Amino acid sequence: MSQFRGFPARMEFTPIPNYFLSALLPQIDDIWELKTTLHVLATLYRKKGYPRFVTGNELLGNDGLMKSLKKEGEAAEEVLRQSLQMASQRGTFIHIALERDGIAEDVYLLNTESDRKAAARIESGELKLSGLKAVEKGRVALEEPPDIFTMYEQNIGMLTPIIADELREAEKLYPESWLRDAIKEAAALNKRNIRYITRILERWSSEGKTDGTYQRVSKKGPDKYLKQRYGHMVRR
C-alpha cells in the first residue's frame, strides 16, 4: 500500500449531510456502495439548476470514482452498476430511466422531498431535463429478477461456498418466493447474514407466512430433512 502524503495547504471541501453520517452511514456495510455514494453526493453538490441530478454516463466518466471501484475479477463498470442499484434500493438516491436520442440513460437524484416531487414530474413528462425524455411505458423491457445467489450478494454480502450450499438446501425446502422475501426482510432490518435468513424461513414454516401461504413446506414432514446435512434449517 502506497503511503498517503497528506492534504495540501489549500483545497476545496465537499459538504456531507449530517443525516448521512448519523442515519445512513451506519447502514452501509459494502465498501463499493459507500465509495459510489460519496462520489454521487459530491457530484450533486457541484451541480447547478433544478433539479440537481447525475447520469450514469457522467459517473462512468469520473476517473476518480472508476479508479476507486477496481475489484478483483470484476469490471469497474459492473461494480458501479451494482453499487448504484444498492444505493437506490436503500433509498439514498432516486433512480429514473430516461432516454437521450433513443438511447437509455440512467438518472439519479438525491432522495429528498423536493427531488421526489421532481422525479414524479419528470416521469410524467411534466418536467423536462435537457436532452432527456421519459421512457415510454410500453417500451420498457422487463428484466428477469436476479437468482437467489445474486440477490444474496446484492443485498446481504459476499457469497462463500458454505453459504451457497445453505442457499441450495433452502431452495429444496422452501418456495423461491419465500427465499426472496426473507432476503429482503433481512436486508431491510440490516440483519445481513445467512443465519438470520434461516430463522425467518423457520418461523414462516412453523407459524405461517403473513401472505397466507401454507405453514409446513413439505407434506412428507420435516423428518426427511432433519437427517440431511442442513437439517438444522427445519424446525419440528
Predicted pLDDT of residue 116 = 94
Rounded (10°) angle between helices 176-188 and 161-173: 130
Considering the domain architecture, whether residues 173 and 87 belong to the same structural domain is answered as no
**Best CA proximity match to 86, nearest among 23, 34, 162, 8:** 34
Considering the domain architecture, whether residues 121 and 28 belong to the same structural domain is answered as yes
Contact 155, 183 (CB under 8 A): yes
Of 115, 139, 163, the residue at which a domain comes to its end is: 139
* pLDDT tens-digit map of 102-161: 888 999 999 999 999 999 999 888 888 887 877 665 444 445 667 888 889 888 988 888
Number of domains in the chain: 2
pLDDT category at 15 given cuts 50, 70, 90 is: confident
> 20-34, 53-67, 167-181: which range is least confident on average?
167-181
Give the domain range for residue 92: 18-139
Considering the domain architecture, whether residues 92 and 176 belong to the same structural domain is answered as no
> 19-23, 32-36, 77-81, 231-235: which range is least confident on average?
231-235
Considering the domain architecture, whether residues 95 and 155 belong to the same structural domain is answered as no
Q: What is the DSSP letter of 132?
A: B
Residue 7 lies in a domain: no
E strands along 29-156, which residues? 54-55, 93-100, 103-110, 133-134
Q: What percent of the chain has pLDDT over 90?
A: 44
E strands along 60-203, which residues? 93-100, 103-110, 133-134
Residue 38 has pLDDT above 90, yes or no: yes
* pLDDT tens-digit map of 159-178: 888 898 899 899 888 888 89
Considering the domain architecture, whether residues 30 and 104 belong to the same structural domain is answered as yes
Of 101, 120, 139, the residue at which a domain comes to its end is: 139
Considering the domain architecture, whether residues 176 and 158 belong to the same structural domain is answered as yes
